[in-house]
Every structure is written in structure tokens, then in C-alpha cells.
Amino acid sequence: MSSAEGLPLQRVPKHVAIIMDGNGRWAKAQGLSRLEGHKQGAKRLRDVIQWAKDAGVKQVSLYAFSTENWKRPKLEIAGLMTLLATLLPLEVPKMQEKGARLLILGDISKFPWLARRALDKAVQATKNNTEIDVILCLNYGGQQEIVDGVKSFYASFDDEQTRAKAFSELTPETLYKFLGRDDILPVDLLIRTGGEKRISNFHLWDAAYAELYFTDTNWPAYSEQDLIAALQDFAHRERRFGKTSEQVQAGDRDE
């Protein structure tokens, strides 16, 4: 098996986020329905959890349904929800074997009951696992997440005066605490499959300093080689966070 061997450990991203795009185009190229593309795409999830774990990644977040995906044809949305409800329970034993904990990012309250039940059960069943976190992003949108954070910040004060003072002193660090991302590490590497070069509302806050990686491979065809290539690329990036290269190198030596 090819692996992440040769990757310096300190260069392995802790949190890898993936925009799993290209299911529809992959299916069309094979003469299959879009839904068949989603089905094949869902199968890649199991693999990617294993590959990420083997490489030493601690969290992998997977963009499965965006706040904008409600604009798709009703039939496609229904098909995606059915896939979630039927395939997720089959994944739970596999996640247990791998020691994977499932977390959900996004508001699933509008999802059909069967899908919600499958998600709740999977979250409960895997809550004590510690090898890797799998963060499924469902009805997730980075803009909505920030709006919700602002609302929670507003609602956290009882009186107008304290609120006004806190608001005038508001910093990104303070607002971040209201985004509900306590269990989630900052995204180090953001991968998009399927050839498009955009963020499509994923992890907007963390996109500020995540390393971006785009590949033409459509999600159903994604392989371990593809992930390793992204991890290797990441290992050679210099993350400066606004500093100069010299400062970063001096800091690296001091560590």
C-alpha cells in the first residue's frame, strides 16, 4: 500500500477539509444518473477516512450538502437524503473499527426524520472514539455559520449596556467563540475535487489561512494517491500567517 511514509510528521495537516465535488459530472461521463454519482461518491467516504487516519490526520471534514444545495431539483435532494439514511448506518461499524468519531457541522433540523435519526445514532455510537474525527458538513454554509455566531453573541447579554460595550470591543477571537466550533481544529488544508476553483461557502472563517489545494479528479474517482499528493504538496508549503519567511524560519528553529 502506498502511504504517507516520507511525510515529516510535523508537516501532516491536523484538519483536512474536503469539498467533495464532481459526482454529477463523473456520472454523466459514465452515462449514469446523477444519483448514481452520489452513490459512488458516498463510497469514497469510507476510504478517505482510512487514508486520512493512516496519514496521521486528526480531523477530516467533508462537505456533503451546502446551504445552497437546497436549490437543486427536489428529486436529487430526496435521493441524497435517502442515501444518507440508508448508507450511514452501514458505515457505523466501519467507523467503530477505525476509532472514528462522527461530528456534524450544519443545521440538520430540516432534514427528513430518517436521515436525522441515522445521523443521531451514528453520532451517539461513535462519540467515545478518539483515533480520528469525521466532521460531516450538512446544510452547512460558512456565511450562515458566521451569522449564527453573531446572533449567539447578541443573545448572550441580558442588558443593552453590557451588550453595547461588548459589541464595541468585539474582536475576531471573541466572535470565533460563538461559532460553535469548540471541537473543531482550524482547517490546515482545504481540498476541492472536481476541477472548480472556488470555496462555495465552505469553512469561510478558516479559509482565511487554510492552504488550498484543487484537483481535477472527480470525487467518485478520488484515490489514496490523490490524497497523498495533496498531503505532500501541503508538506512543502510555508505557512506565514502574515509574517515574513525569515521570521517563520527563525520561529521553526526556536521550537
Out of 4, 17, 23, 136, name the contact with ligand IPE by CB under 6 A: 23
Active site residue 21: yes
Identify which range of 14-22, 35-43, 45-53, 125-133 contacts Mg ion by CB under 5 A.
14-22
Of 22 and 149, CB closest to Mg ion: 22
On whether the CB atoms of residues 219 and 180 are closer than 8 A, the answer is no
Amino acid letter for position 34: R
Out of 59, 61, 66, 217, name the contact with ligand IPE by CB under 6 A: 66
Q: Is 54 in the site for ligand IPE (CB under 6 A)?
A: no
On whether the CB atoms of residues 19 and 200 are closer than 8 A, the answer is yes
Of 21 and 224, CB closest to Mg ion: 21
Q: Is 196 in the site for ligand IPE (CB under 6 A)?
A: yes
Least distance between Mg ion and beta carbon 21 (Å): 4
Q: Is 222 in the site for ligand IPE (CB under 6 A)?
A: no
For the beta carbon of residue 183, count every other beta carbon within 10 angstroms: 11
Among ligand IPE, Mg ion, none, the one that 19 touches (CB under a kind-dependent 5 to 8 A) is: ligand IPE
Among positions 139-178, residues that touch ligand IPE (CB under 6 A) are none
Among positions 20-39, residues that touch Mg ion (CB under 5 A) are 21
- From the list 23, 47, 54, 69, the catalytic residue is 69
Among candidate residues 16, 52, 11, the one with its CA nearest the CA of residue 206 = 16
Of 13 and 142, CB closest to Mg ion: 142
CA distance 79 to 25: 17
Residues 6+ apart with CB under 8 A from 183: 103, 133
Question: Starting at the edge strand that comes first in sequence, how are the strands of the sheet with 189-192 ordered?
Answer: 100-105, 132-140, 59-66, 15-19, 189-192, 211-214
Of 72 and 163, CB closest to Mg ion: 72
Active site residue 129: no
Identify which range of 4-12, 59-67, 176-184, 237-245 contacts ligand IPE by CB under 6 A.
59-67
Q: Is 20 in the site for ligand IPE (CB under 6 A)?
A: yes
SS in 3 state form for 154-221?
HHCCCCHHHHHHHHHCCCHHHHHCCCCCCCCCCCCEEEECCCCCCCCCCCHHHHCCCEEEECCCCHHH
Residues 6+ apart with CB under 8 A from 233: 213
Q: Is 63 in the site for ligand IPE (CB under 6 A)?
A: yes
Among candidate residues 184, 200, 178, 206, the one with its CA nearest the CA of residue 67 = 200
| Chain residues in the site for Mg ion (CB under 5 A) | 21
Would you tell me which residues interact with ligand IPE (CB under 6 A)? Answer: 19-25, 63-66, 69, 80, 194, 196, 198, 200
Q: Would you please indicate which residues are annotated as catalytic (active-site) residues?
A: 21, 69
